[in-house]
Amino acid sequence: MTDITREGQLVDAFATLADKLVDDYDAVELLQTLVDNCRDLLDVTAAGILLADEDGNLEVTASTSEASRLVEHMQISARSGPCIDCFTTGATISVPDIRQSPEKWRLFRESAAQQGFSSVFALPMRLRETTIGALNLLRAETGGLNERDVRAAQALADVATIGIMHARSLRQSDMVRTPLQWALNSRIVIEQAKGVVSQTNNVTTDEAFNLIRRHARSQGILLSVVAERIVARDLVIKI
């Protein structure tokens, strides 16, 4: 990918994220767009996002593959890993070679290796002093992520963070919590819908999610609404 092509695609990515920041935007779709952009435009293999609920507990809200989702869940279960430390400290965590990661990350290290990842970079989703989650970038190769990609990923994460937190209402604590919790709740329904579509069409959960997302986009309906209809058996999606 040439620098000119990449620059144009990054501009398009920012424009797409901005377009989604409308009154009735879908927070889950916004975050999924963010991780997809990171995977497609940066020197990474996969990406995922962990968001904190009202009690500060992290949950997976977006991922580019089942493999990255499993790695994120392992960090949550073990309460240890680059994304956990990134969220806790609000600092970027860079691990060019997971084999050299701290012993406290052993379970994460084993999970990442099993899923084919060799390096990881976690970036805070933060606005001022408030950190709401972390963006995890995973690579199949070892080595550091170039500074240009780090800056681009952080900028994309910042745009999404502003959207999630509804910056205009930042001083109203309830308005900060509401979109976060709504995104987390929506993700649960989406995971259930993925299971239904996967079983109905005998496809992987990644393929099932793509089918659900494609239907939502073609019909101009929120992703969460489509998922709710699938779970309620009001909508059947087939290949």
* pLDDT tens figures, 18-54: 666 655 567 778 888 889 989 998 999 999 999 887 7
Structure tokens at 90: 């609000």
- Who's near 39: CB < 8 A, 6+ residues apart? 45, 46, 47, 64
Residues 86-110 have a mean pLDDT of 94
For residue 75, the model assigns a pLDDT of 92
Query: Residue 24: its pLDDT value, please?
Result: 59
C-alpha to C-alpha distances, 34 to 93, 103, 106, 130, 158, nearest whole angstrom: 19, 31, 28, 19, 10
pTM exceeds cut of 0.85: no
- Give one DSSP letter per residue of 112-160, joined into a string: HHHTT--EEEEEEEEETTEEEEEEEEEESS-SPPPHHHHHHHHHHHHHH
Instruction: Evaluate if residue 163 carries a pLDDT over 80.
Output: no
Per-residue pLDDT, averaged over 174-181, amounts to 53
Whether 146 has a pLDDT exceeding 50, the answer reads yes
Structure token digits, residue 29: 């779709």
Model confidence pLDDT, tens digit, residues 72-92: 999 999 999 999 999 999 999
| Per-domain residue ranges of the chain | 3-166
How many beta carbons lie within 10 A of that of residue 120, not counting itself?
A: 28
CATH code reported for the domain at 3-166? 3.30.450.40
Task: Name the nearest CA neighbour of 68 among 124, 140, 10.
Answer: 140
The residue with tokens 């890993």 is 81
